[in-house]
Chains A and B, each alone.
Chain A
Amino acid sequence: MTGINELKESPLFKWTGSHNSSSLAFYRICFGFLMFFSITRFASYGWINELYIVPEFHFSYYGFEWLPYPSSFWIYTLFVLAFIGALGIMLGLFYRFSAIIFFLCFTYIELLDKTYYLNHYYFVSLIALILIFLPANSAYSLDKRFGFIKGSSTVPRWTISILIFQITVVYFYAGLAKINYDWVIEAQPLRIWLNGASDWPLVGNLFTQDWVAYFFSWFGLVYDLFIVFFLIVSRTRPIAFSLVFSFHFLTWLLFPIGVFPWVMMVGSLIFLNPETHQKILERILGRSMDNSRQEVSKLKNIPKVLISIFIIIQLTFPFRFLLYESDLFWKESAYRFGWRVMLMEKAGYANFYIEENDASFEIPNTRHLTTFQEKQMSMQPDMILQYAHYLGEIYSDTTMEIHGHKFNFAAPEVHVEVYVTLNGRTSQLFVDRSVNLMEVPYDLSERDWVEDYKE
């Protein structure tokens, strides 16, 4: 079969028919294990307390401000539930319930503070959402062993297709996002970041050389755009897999990106042959786990409408930025949820002032924010605005006693002066102090209150 035909016939393009249920089971076990590991890692670093309990203020997501912020007890409970959900997914025990619990708890946690937004967390939420609807416990699961379900040796093909589709979206859109001036022509921000590895033995000084930065940038771009297709076609699959592993392993060594490379490496395992999935599972778990019957999942007839809506949203959502005239990297309107990974080295310095009746107080950011929050806020317009509104709120109708002197604030104006640097360029004015942010609505409109980027 030629590559093109194989592509056409692959689950990515052909969603009808059936597929070996081992593939789904394999993916379920890997994903469950990775999440189990990921949550354990997160907790062991003390991040639950540091990121979700210590901060006084939380940067909510637009549209999710209504989500109640849990007390520390409930924060820990959410993590414990997500942890149990991940275990349940891995073991295939009370699978659907576990998947729902995991999805809800994990997503709830992510929605609490956008300071910690990461594309791979978004990816995890999406995969968890998808898994709820898939019969991933139909083989190699405790549900089946305990007889809670009947199990099946095949699953509808679309259950594999939709996972492959989701992974394709991540890679392909990440590749598209790399087609920009800084990435292609300036090899930025990699040129800056690769310097961090200049102390590596043997290859260290390579990372300081221009051609290496260009090589990584261009290779990364081509890789992201096309890797999925090479993973699908059987002839190129071995080389594609070796690329996936070496590429992500290298990024894991080079950049502080946590479990992301592992999420992608494990994610790509769905592209292995179904027979390979089955062989691996048989070797590890034994054939006894899978005394399959030809039983077709009840979810075979999931409404095509639902799937279509999901697909359309996934394909169009990253393009929201086209609705804005402003520079995507500068004002970041519609920047998140677009698979824009590692595209910017951006940093800002923001000085906030509350002003009323000629009185002007500078409020040090560290008074209300953690270092992490301050760093993220100082360069992202929506977060600057949210924080400004928070300041306006907490300092209204208050008396501030500073150095023994009392000041009354009824409804103070909030101003900020921000300078931002992007991809190694000299910092420039981002928000001018003349703007009263209390008069700027927090919505999805153009961010005209942010200075335009000047070349």
Chain B
Amino acid sequence: MKKFIIFITALTLASCNKEESEEFNRQSMLTNYYANVIAVNVEDYESSLNILKSSTGAFTSSPSTSTLATLRADFITAYKSYQGIKMINFGPTADNFYCNHANIYPTDTSVINGNISSGTYTLGAASNTDAIGFPAIDYLIYNGSDTEIIDAFTSDANAANRITYLNEIVDKLQSEFIPVKQDWATYQQTFISATGTDVGGSTGIMFNAYIMDIELLKNAKIGIPSGQQTGGMLLPDYVEGYYGDLSFELAIASVNELKFLFNGAEGLGLDDYIKHVEGESITESLADRINAQFDLISTDLSSYSNSLSEAVVSNTSDVNATYFETKKLVTNIKTDAASLLGILITYTDSDGD
């Protein structure tokens, strides 16, 4: 027993010896994550939705090429900003089910048109999950020439209903985010203080949501349209932002957001955590390899001169190569990083085998 007391005393004394004190700790990392990633993304997204809402109002009250152009620009900004929300699909974002119906694509155009012509629908109904959100807006403001679209909102028999529908789906995106934002403000303390690596630890919760989103980048954004999961059968209309040809732009935005989160903006992030665990003896940090992979994918996605729905048909092998790079990224994050950070993907007992 005496020896045990000595041992504990030694431990305690050694811990007070701050000579080797490290700047990294999970508390600071989480504090940084809240302040500089989550709060920033939530704020940005909220304001992009407010702008989208007002430019939707401007367009629908006086449809013109200029109001349409403004609406589209604001739509793209909000859609890109959304990429930074769906990667934090945990805590209040998940509890409010915000991401469950904001971006289901491909959108169901016949349901949208049916809703518009009948004028009676419940947007929150399960049958309408693929008739609302960003993909539905994409369809309404991009499908056809500018003149056709403006006509659809002015001279068309269903113009009035269409105006209502567009305003309502934008409003839904915007109004449903208000409680998400409020809840994040109250969840802040919980998030920052759950510093453990146990079941309720914020690092693990955030990381698991992060893995899900990286897998979405690989599967939903690139894999499905390029036929990776469908026997090589190409599905060019299954891309995100199909009508506005926004797929690559959105994918790049998503990669940028994922990289932004990985590095904890400019502050303490998963990259620092990885380097901290690796110690100084390591020659090439996993964090650096992951960042290089983000850059590689980003450059890769920027290199296409056409849209993704065209590219899956005409540059199939290029898209396959891009897909392969995203798979490498998932491997790096889901195995190497998760392992190094001791993140529990599940939370039942284990004895490490």
Contacts and interface: CB of A to CB of B under 8 A. Distances in A.
Given A209-B20, A361-B231, A202 B353 contact: no
Interface stretch (B66-74, B294-302, B339-347): B339-347
B52 interface: no
A235 B168 CA distance: 81
B14 A427 contact: no
Contact of B352 (A189, A197, A204, A246): A189
Given A199-B26, A203-B15, A347 B352 contact: no
Contacts of B4: 242-243, 246
A402 B348 contact: no
B125 interface: no
Contact of B230 (A258, A259, A402): A402
Given A51-B348, A347-B334, A210 B198 contact: no
A214 interface: no
A246 B338 CA distance: 29
A430 to B, nearest CB: 10
A239 B3 CA distance: 8
Contacts of B233: 359, 402-403, 405
Nearest to A338: B353
A82 B341 CA distance: 37
Interface in B283-301: 286, 289
A344 B276 CA distance: 20
Given A205-B21, A424-B340, A419 B331 contact: yes
Nearest to A363: B229
Given A239-B1, A403-B238, A358 B232 contact: yes
A419 B220 CA distance: 21
Contacts of A393: none
Nearest to B344: A256
Given A257-B351, A360-B231, A351 B327 contact: yes
A206 B15 contact: yes
A118 B350 contact: yes
Given A345-B342, A348-B335, A204 B15 contact: yes
A236 B27 CA distance: 42
Interface residues of B, number: 57
Interface string A27-38: 000000000000
A375 B229 contact: no
Interface string A373-384: 001001000000
A154 B1 CA distance: 33
A371 B21 contact: no
B228 interface: yes
Majority secondary structure, A binding face: mixed
Contacts of B26: 198-199
A47 B12 CA distance: 38
A407 interface: yes
A199 B25 contact: yes
Interface in B80-103: none
Contacts of B198: 256
Contacts of B276: 195, 208
A364 B277 contact: no
A349 B335 contact: yes
B352 to A, nearest CB: 4
B223 interface: yes
A272 interface: no
Contacts of A347: 334-336, 338-339
A181 B190 CA distance: 41
Given A118-B349, A257-B349, A364-B229, A198 B25 contact: yes
A208 B20 CA distance: 10
B255 to A, nearest CB: 19
A196 B342 contact: yes
Contacts, number: 158
Interface string A413-449: 0000001110010110000000000000000000000
Given A347-B339, A426-B286, A116 B348 contact: yes
Interface string B219-248: 100011000111111010010000000000
A265 interface: no
A122 B231 CA distance: 43
Interface in A346-398: 346-349, 351, 358-364, 371-372, 375, 378
A102 interface: no
A150 interface: no
A335 interface: yes
Given A198-B25, A203-B11, A351-B327, A256 B335 contact: no
Interface string B172-191: 00000000000000000000
A195 B1 contact: no
Contacts of B353: 117, 119, 335-336, 340-344
A94 interface: no
Nearest to A404: B235
A403 B230 contact: yes
A238 interface: yes
B335 A238 contact: no
Contacts of A256: 198, 344, 347, 349-350
A192 interface: yes
B348 A349 contact: no
A257 B64 CA distance: 64
Interface string A178-211: 0000000000010111011111001111101110
Nearest to B237: A403
Given A189-B352, A208-B22, A427 B332 contact: yes
A260 interface: yes
B49 interface: no
Nearest to B338: A347
A427 B327 CA distance: 13
Contacts of B341: 195
B2 to A, nearest CB: 8
Contacts of A348: 335
A58 interface: no
B144 interface: no
Interface string B313-349: 0000000000000010011101110111110111111
A96 interface: no
Given A192-B277, A243-B4, A118 B330 contact: no
Contacts of A116: 348
B128 interface: no
B336 A427 contact: yes
Contacts of B349: 118, 256-260
Interface of B: 1, 3-4, 11-12, 14-16, 20-22, 25-27, 195-198, 219, 223-224, 228-233, 235, 238, 276-279, 286, 289, 327, 330-332, 334-336, 338-342, 344-353
Given A203-B11, A341-B353, 10 more contacts: A118-B351, A120-B351, A196-B197, A196-B342, A256-B349, A358-B232, A360-B232, A371-B346, A402-B233, A405-B233
CB-based closest 5 A-B pairs = A258-B349, A359-B231, A196-B197, A342-B352, A199-B195
20 contacts: A120-B351, A193-B342, A195-B276, A195-B341, A196-B197, A199-B196, A202-B15, A203-B12, A205-B15, A206-B11, A206-B14, A257-B351, A335-B353, A342-B351, A342-B353, A345-B342, A358-B232, A372-B346, A424-B278, A424-B340
